[in-house]
Amino acid sequence: MRAVEKTNPRIVNLISILKETSRTSDTRIWREIARRLESPNKNHAEVNISKINRYAAKGETIIVPGKVLGSGAIDQPVVVAALNFSKSAEEKIAGAKGSCITIEQLLTDNPKGSGVRILR
């Protein structure tokens, strides 16, 4: 069986940055995110706002190795890092005084990955 290569340059670059950061800072979270992003796109996480609301604590940082969708409601401020966000998900998170950032921004802000929870 032939290995399928990623064609999205953003994901390819992100995977290499995650692996490099994992090696240099000796953190396993970035290696795990890279492993999940290396899987086929159909296996990437799609997480609804309701799941974030259910599992996240107020002020917590959540990372989604995939897309955040806008189904459900959120009533607490959280920082959510993901590959992509639906428009309604961005609006709902912002409405709850939270913030939406890219995985690249989270990696720059928190290279040790401390206090980050993975949702899938």
Domain boundaries, the chain: 9-118
Q: Which two tokens stand for residue 27?
A: 């953190």
Alpha-helical (H) ranges within 1-120 are: 9-25, 28-38, 49-55, 87-95, 103-109
Which class would CATH give 9-118? Answer: alpha beta
- Are 57 and 77 within 8 A, CB to CB? no
Asked if residue 6 has pLDDT above 90, the reply is: no
Q: Which two tokens stand for residue 29?
A: 């979270």
Mean pLDDT of 42-61: 94
Asked if residue 66 has pLDDT above 90, the reply is: yes
Instruction: Express each pLDDT in 10-26 by its tens digit.
Output: 999 999 999 999 999 99
Separation between Cα atoms, residue 105 and residue 49, nearest integer Å: 20
Neighbours of 59 (CB within 10 A): 12
pLDDT value, residue 33: 96
Asked if residue 3 has pLDDT above 70, the reply is: no
Asked if residue 1 has pLDDT above 90, the reply is: no
